[in-house]
Structure 1
Amino acid sequence: MPMAENGLDSSSGAAIYSPLTLKLYDLVVLGFSNRFAWTCPTRKVLLPFFKAHLSDNHLDVGVGTGYYLAEAGIGPHQKVSLLDLNPNSLKAAQARLARSLGRACSTYVGDVMRPQPLPSDCRFSSISLFYLYHCLPGSMAEKSASIAHLSPYLEPGGVIYGATILGESAGHNHYGRRLMAVYNAKGVFGNRHDTQEGLTETLSAHFQDVDVRRNGRVALFTLRVPKA
């Protein structure tokens, strides 16, 4: 099992993405859960946010099914790379995006909770982490190691951005509470104690320009200018 440098096991959150789960992901998570449990609709909120920060040299971390890149209207002129701990997700996303790009995109199997998850010469103008952060184990400070590990791959003037489901104090509805309980018990989520304030504080330890906004039970964040 992959163990991060802090001793946390980051494999549980990725292991759920079997080929069968991935076939249901867009409908169940992006369609139903985002609207009714997390009250942050995919097409009205998350997809526009994703597109607003997408560059021509992009890394998507925790790729899911490749939905956001596919729906963002990427084309052959864009350089797209994918990083995930789960080969099933990478395979599904790469196949989906090949239709838009007209070629295979670069894929990397790696764990953002470990140092150097990518080759040292990789650089990107934008890096996205959508619905990855709440799947990582540990406290918010421990999760922020993922940001520290990704920041060296960011081009000057670039942006890291993402979305994460907040924890129990976010005021979840009945459906959200049920999902939170099940997912955290199974290790799919690790976000019981995640808060907007904690996210802002821990991200600010790594970046000078930090913006964290909340929509429903989801925090949307953008990070610019890494701290030395």
Structure 2
Amino acid sequence: MTVRPMPVDHQVGHEQYNPLTLRLYDTLVYGLTCPLFWKVPESALLRLYERNIAETHLDIGVGTGRLLDRCAMPVDRPRITLFDLNPHCLAHAARRLARYEVTTHLGSVLKPFPRLVGSHGSAALNLMLHCVPGDIPEKAIAFDHTAGCVRPGGKIFGSTVLSRGVPVTRRARFALGRLNAVRSFHNTEDDLEDLHEQLEKRFSRYRVTVYGCVALFEATVD
């Protein structure tokens, strides 16, 4: 595993993750909040990965690396780059994926990734844009930085929890209020129409699929 530091000047909701909380992450996120609050099954997220992941893949906002660990890979030993603000997440995911060729980078999705330009066949932003400050038009700079790391014809994909333009249950609305209050989430203004608009501006081919209040997006880099 190689760790390469990059400038970090935006904290976007991941500082609460440490070796102890990461032990609970999969149960809380994939076993509780995703199916019960956001109404997206883990199986839908796994299929999203399996439709789009390439043999050279960049994962941004890595969590514990669960989906990369569980999804079917296109080759036996893919080259995976993990990118996150939190060194604990990077270390945890890298250990979990040690059977692959893994490199880690510490940095912010709101800054360009100059060392990674054009070097991947796919890139994922899974369950992380709702943690980035600002509304969708402001956060969409993350699409530009990510697209710069993917070769033409490669895929960008991911998911994000929205607050507007999607069905939000009373339970989900309560959870979103709490998570935004403690600044774990920053998505009170995140709207499905804005997501479509920002993807359409950048990609000639894209699609968005909604599960509950989660939007799954897939786009091809021109």
2:161 paired residue number = 165
Listed as ranges, the gaps of 5+ residues in structure 1 are 4-9
Separation in structure 2 between the aligned mates of residue 110 and residue 204 of structure 1, nearest angstrom: 26
1:6 paired residue number = none
Separation in structure 2 between the aligned mates of residue 216 and residue 76 of structure 1, nearest angstrom: 34
Separation in structure 1 between the aligned mates of residue 17 and residue 199 of structure 2, nearest angstrom: 27
Aligned-residue Cα RMSD (Å) equals 1.8
Look up the equivalent residue of 1:49 and give its one-letter code.
L
- Give matches, 1:128-207, under 5 Å: 128-207=124-203
Q: Residue deviations 1:160-198, cap 9 Å, x none? A: 000111115533223212210111111111111112111
How many positions carry a matched residue from both structures? 215
Separation in structure 2 between the aligned mates of residue 122 and residue 107 of structure 1, nearest angstrom: 17
TM-score normalised by length of structure 1: 0.88
Offset, 1:73: 3.7
Separation in structure 2 between the aligned mates of residue 82 and residue 122 of structure 1, nearest angstrom: 15
Offset, 1:21: 1.7
Look up the equivalent residue of 2:109 and give its one-letter code.
V
Fraction of identical pairs, as percent: 33
- Give matches, 1:1-228, under 5 Å: 2-3=8-9, 10-43=10-43, 45-74=44-73, 76-98=76-98, 100-101=99-100, 105-115=102-112, 117-121=113-117, 123-226=119-222
Look up the equivalent residue of 2:31 and give its one-letter code.
G
Listed as ranges, the gaps of 5+ residues in structure 2 are 1-6
In 1, are the aligned partners of 2:56 and 2:122 still within 8 Å (CA)?
yes
Offset, 1:131: 0.4
TM-score normalised by length of structure 2: 0.90
Separation in structure 1 between the aligned mates of residue 41 and residue 200 of structure 2, nearest angstrom: 27
Separation in structure 1 between the aligned mates of residue 80 and residue 110 of structure 2, nearest angstrom: 21
Give 3-state SS (helix, strand or coil) of 2:190's partner: coil
Offset, 1:143: 0.3
Separation in structure 1 between the aligned mates of residue 59 and residue 188 of structure 2, nearest angstrom: 25
